[in-house]
Chains A and B, each alone.
Chain A
Amino acid sequence: MIAAHLPALQIVLPLLSAPLCVLLVRARLAYALSLIVCWLAFAISIMLLGQVLDGGVISYRLGGWAPPWGIEYRVDLVNAYVLLIVAAIGALVITYAGPSVAREIGGGRETLFYTSYMLCLTGLLGVTITGDAFNIFVFLEISSLSSYILISLGTDRRALTASFRYLIFGTIGATFFLIGVGLIYQATGTLNLADMANRVEPLGASRTVQAAFAFMAVGLAVKAALFPLHSWLPNAYAYAPSVVSAFLAATATKVSIYVLIRTYFSVFGPEFSFEVMTLGPVLMVLSIAAMLIGSMIAIFQDDIKRSFAYSSVAQIGYMVLGIGFATVLGVTGGMLHLFNHALMKGALFLALGCLIWRTGSVSITAMQGLGKRMPWTMAAIVGGGLSLIGVPLTVGFISKWYLLLAAIDSGLWWVAVFILISSLMAIIYVWRLVEVAYLSPSPDGAPSGEAPLVMLIPTWVLVLANFYFGVDTRVSVGVATEAAKYLLGAGS
């Protein structure tokens, strides 16, 4: 009986735990509750992926109303895969959160943190699972509003301005999406994504549909921090509490990119998106600019968190580049990078959190001699960094390999050159850290000693995942390829 209701439970459990966290008042209880619920959500997402692999698309009728009238939760291979990413990161990060939150947030605001965290998780999972366009908007705003709160909990006062900036950008982005949904509702008379896809096709290139497409694409690009709409991201990630940076960097932009993929391929269909609207060249130019400029700025940052935040802008470029090819190989590369980037940035930001826990700083000077003072944390940063560069045997290599294959397959060898240049830049900004940490001596009286095991273990789980999925690619590549085939086959 429970198996049939998994799609609802995936959302309802985190949603229920949020008000319970408020009622529990004490931080430890709230932490325990969120911990249990996050791991349950992870288990549910695994079971959902299993069900989809066995029996195809799952459709769940919320409130018993049949689609397209009622809200439908629709799980296919693509979003089962994204659900798994979000839930896995959510569970690992909450495990890590206990000591880090107590030190960085504290002061009676810890329960608020857990409440917002659970709401944010609810929103992200909801965006992914729902099959209803307006429902996407609502969940998008739930996750965004709670992430503004999470970011503003940072210790630096610049967290406040970063959060405000994100609020302005995020609201404009979501409202653009809402306008797009309104226009498409006007044209098709439905909000159900699957039903919409059927009704959009005969309309062809009507102006309403084109306008709807443009609004949705731009709004989601803001949310996904696609260059040049990324300016909210670096400060937001740099000044947020480290738990929040890790969680958002690994999940929030991914979910927006998932919705982008969904709109381009499932709703409007690859033909409309890439032939009528000629999205391919646009995405390619923007993503290459993101890769180069993001990596370039990352090299010159003294604040390591900021450096990795700019690197995220570049990595989003890789994902969108894959989508821009609009071939099975390209979309596979993009989807793979979605998963892989979650692993590497999750690992890196968690490791930086360990650093903050011990030294209270993430400036590059704080890292002098860190290789001796915090060997495990520093090794984790190196591991994540190797994956970020794309060294063979790491996940970063796998997704870049697929992107290169896709570029050559489409006859765009110059794109391959840019991928390599951007990877070289990644070597520079990672090597900088290695150099400072291992080759320069520790300043006198610098704090040393590792972070608690509760923090180190999740960090290392993610680091090892970077290597495991870089060697054993059956699961990740298999699912991503099937998902890409499904996406490109569904529209044509």
Chain B
Amino acid sequence: MSHHLVVRVVSKLLIPFILLFGLYVQFHGDFGPGGGFQAGVIFAAGFILYALVYGLDNAKRIIPEKYIRAGVALGLLIFAGTGVASLLMGGNYLDYSVLAEEAPKGQHLGIFVVEFGVGLTVASVMIVIFFAFAGRDHQIDEKEE
């Protein structure tokens, strides 16, 4: 798709805002509608748009596949690890209240970290799925060049 000038220019303009919006949804999740699931998908969508327009190889050069795979695992580890942290600090599994001196602060911290884990995993999974399907044969990259 690299010869479509309009698509290239427009997506180049849009992608930073899509990624920014993804981050907004992620980190504003504790005050309004939002959270890791939605943010992860939005963030991944921005990245996938880049891969669609500029080709899979360029996209893989930005984030190599093995790092994204690690991201999938890391997100889940952060989530489950938060639970273990609350276990170690004397609460039940995933009981955020014990994570800080005051219960509300602990809950705030807990949900923030957990949602970050969710967002990381969701974004990585979406990109991995896209890479897996698109990389199977190189139709997306090469057909139109």
Q: Residues of A with Cβ closer than 8 Å to B?
A: 1, 5, 8, 12, 15-16, 18-20, 22-23, 60-64
Once A22-B70, A23-B70, A64-B97 are accepted as A-B contacts, the answer to whether A8 and B77 lie under 8 Å apart by CB is no
A-B contact pairs, 9 of them (CB 8 A): A8-B83, A12-B93, A18-B73, A22-B69, A22-B73, A23-B73, A63-B92, A64-B94, A64-B95
B43 within 8 A of A: no
**Most central of B80, B84, B93 by chain A CB within 10 Å:** B93
Contacts of B70 in A (CB 8 A): 22-23
Chain B contact-residue range equals 20 to 34
Q: How far is B114's CA from A197's CA once the two chains are assembled, in angstroms? A: 33
B109 within 8 A of A: no
Once A16-B80, A19-B77 are accepted as A-B contacts, the answer to whether A5 and B72 lie under 8 Å apart by CB is no
- A234 → chain B closest CB, angstroms: 29
Check A19–B87 contact: CB distance below 8 A: no
Going nearest first, the 6 A-B pairs with the smallest beta carbon separation are A19-B73, A64-B95, A8-B93, A22-B73, A63-B94, A19-B76
**Contact mask for chain B residues 54-90; partner A; CB cutoff 8 A; 1 contact, 0 none:** 0000000000000001101110110011011001001
Check B72–A19 contact: CB distance below 8 A: yes
- A44 → chain B closest CB, angstroms: 13
- A23 → chain B closest CB, angstroms: 5
B91 within 8 A of A: yes
Check B77–A60 contact: CB distance below 8 A: no
Q: How far is B72's CA from A61's CA once the two chains are assembled, in angstroms? A: 28
Q: How far is B98's CA from A4's CA once the two chains are assembled, in angstroms? A: 17
**Most central of A5, A12, A60, A64 by chain B CB within 10 Å:** A64
Contacts of B83 in A (CB 8 A): 8, 12
Contacts of A64 in B (CB 8 A): 91-92, 94-95, 97
**Contact mask for chain B residues 7-30; partner A; CB cutoff 8 A; 1 contact, 0 none:** 000000000000000000000000
B116 within 8 A of A: no
Once A5-B87, A8-B87, A22-B70 are accepted as A-B contacts, the answer to whether A16 and B77 lie under 8 Å apart by CB is yes
Nearest to B110 among chain A residues (CB) is A63
Check A12–B80 contact: CB distance below 8 A: yes
Q: How far is B93's CA from A371's CA once the two chains are assembled, in angstroms? A: 52
Check B74–A19 contact: CB distance below 8 A: yes
Q: How far is B122's CA from A58's CA once the two chains are assembled, in angstroms? A: 34
- A77 → chain B closest CB, angstroms: 23
B47 within 8 A of A: no
Check A20–B94 contact: CB distance below 8 A: no
Contacts of A60 in B (CB 8 A): 92-93
Q: How far is B93's CA from A62's CA once the two chains are assembled, in angstroms? A: 6
Check B92–A5 contact: CB distance below 8 A: yes
Check A15–B80 contact: CB distance below 8 A: yes
User: Binding site of A, secondary structure by majority: helix, strand, loop or mixed?
Assistant: helix
Nearest to A1 among chain B residues (CB) is B90
Contacts of B95 in A (CB 8 A): 63-64
Contacts of B91 in A (CB 8 A): 64
Check B73–A61 contact: CB distance below 8 A: no
Nearest to A21 among chain B residues (CB) is B73
For the complex with contacts A12-B84, A62-B94, A63-B93, 7 further pairs of A-B residues with Cβ separation under 8 Å are A16-B80, A19-B73, A19-B74, A19-B76, A20-B73, A60-B93, A61-B92
Check A22–B80 contact: CB distance below 8 A: no
Check A16–B73 contact: CB distance below 8 A: no
Check B77–A62 contact: CB distance below 8 A: no
Contacts of B92 in A (CB 8 A): 5, 8, 60-64
**Most central of A16, A61, A63 by chain B CB within 10 Å:** A63
Q: How far is B80's CA from A16's CA once the two chains are assembled, in angstroms? A: 6
Check A22–B72 contact: CB distance below 8 A: yes
Contacts of A5 in B (CB 8 A): 87, 92-93
Contacts of B76 in A (CB 8 A): 15, 18-19
Q: How far is B94's CA from A27's CA once the two chains are assembled, in angstroms? A: 31
Contacts of A20 in B (CB 8 A): 73, 77
Check A16–B94 contact: CB distance below 8 A: no
- A296 → chain B closest CB, angstroms: 42
Q: How far is B94's CA from A15's CA once the two chains are assembled, in angstroms? A: 14
Q: How far is B72's CA from A398's CA once the two chains are assembled, in angstroms? A: 47
- A320 → chain B closest CB, angstroms: 34
Q: How far is B74's CA from A8's CA once the two chains are assembled, in angstroms? A: 20
Q: How far is B85's CA from A12's CA once the two chains are assembled, in angstroms? A: 12
Contacts of A18 in B (CB 8 A): 73, 76
Contacts of A62 in B (CB 8 A): 92-94
Q: How far is B93's CA from A23's CA once the two chains are assembled, in angstroms? A: 23
Q: How far is B33's CA from A275's CA once the two chains are assembled, in angstroms? A: 48
Nearest to B96 among chain A residues (CB) is A63
Q: How far is B91's CA from A20's CA once the two chains are assembled, in angstroms? A: 24
Contacts of B73 in A (CB 8 A): 18-20, 22-23
Q: How far is B14's CA from A105's CA once the two chains are assembled, in angstroms? A: 44
Q: How far is B84's CA from A8's CA once the two chains are assembled, in angstroms? A: 10
B74 CB contact (under 8 Å) in A12, A23, A63: A23
Nearest to B81 among chain A residues (CB) is A16
- A61 → chain B closest CB, angstroms: 6
